[in-house]
Amino acid sequence: MKVGLIFISLLLSLNVLGQSFKANAIAGISTSQVSSDNLGGFNKFGLKLGASVFHKVNSGTRAEYAMYYIDKGSRDSENFFKIDLSYIESSWSLQKSSKGIIYEAGLLFAVLIDGATYDRNGKFDTQNSDFSKYDIGATIGAGVKLKSKVFMFWEISNTIPLFPIQEHPNGISVGLNKGKYNSIFSISLRYLLSDE
């Protein structure tokens, strides 16, 4: 319900932004892992749904702000272990077009909606599911135009090491390894809601 209200509010606000801003609807899938959880592989699948607005800086560069719902976490099907995290995430990025490819780099700020750890017996105790309320990260990506108003983007993002989503037990840390971090690969379609 909260996700729907945020999405609708963002779309309605686009009408007052003027001619210099354009909007996209975003729909895709995410596949993720959590660093330092002793599992490997992007085995946790989820959704990525939201919207974005962008402003052209010049003929080949634009700045984009996006807000979306995204699933993150990790999963091991063999022993039923799963970290299940849901966020409302915002991103600020710069995009550069060259030879038909759109290159993108930016920063992410996410607010945790729900987070829990599960094993074969169900949800872990509260301490094992005590995740940071925020996830601060960085992203890079690339996209291509499929049709006049449809773009496909591939993105990789990761929590910035200074801001773990969960500390190691007993607060132990070694160098930049201060806890657990989200790593995400996502594929999404962006539909332009107005003419460019």
pTM of the model: 0.83
Indicate the domain borders of the chain: 2-14+24-81+91-171+181-192
84 Ramachandran zone, left/alpha/beta (phi>0; psi -120 to 50): beta
Query: Is residue 105 within 8 Å of 81, Cβ to Cβ?
Result: no
pLDDT reading at 196 higher than 90:
no
Q: Which of 158, 175, 163 is nearest to 134 (CA)?
A: 163
Q: How confident is the model at residue 16 (pLDDT cuts 50, 70, 90)?
A: very low
**Mean pLDDT, to the nearest integer, of 161-189?**
83
pLDDT of residue 17: 46
pLDDT of residue 15: 47
**Mean pLDDT, to the nearest integer, of 27-33?**
95
Instruction: Give the pLDDT confidence of 63-118 residue by residue, as tens digits.
Output: 999 999 999 999 887 777 888 999 999 999 999 999 999 999 999 999 999 988 88
Q: Which fold has domain 2-14+24-81+91-171+181-192?
A: Porin (2.40.160)
Nearby residues of 10 by Cβ (< 8 Å), 6 or more positions away: 50, 51, 67
Q: How many CA atoms lie within 13 A of 54 on its CB side?
A: 26
**Mean pLDDT, to the nearest integer, of 8-12?**
52
Distance CA 102, CA 145 (A): 9
pLDDT reading at 193 higher than 70:
yes
pLDDT of residue 130: 82
pLDDT reading at 174 higher than 70:
no
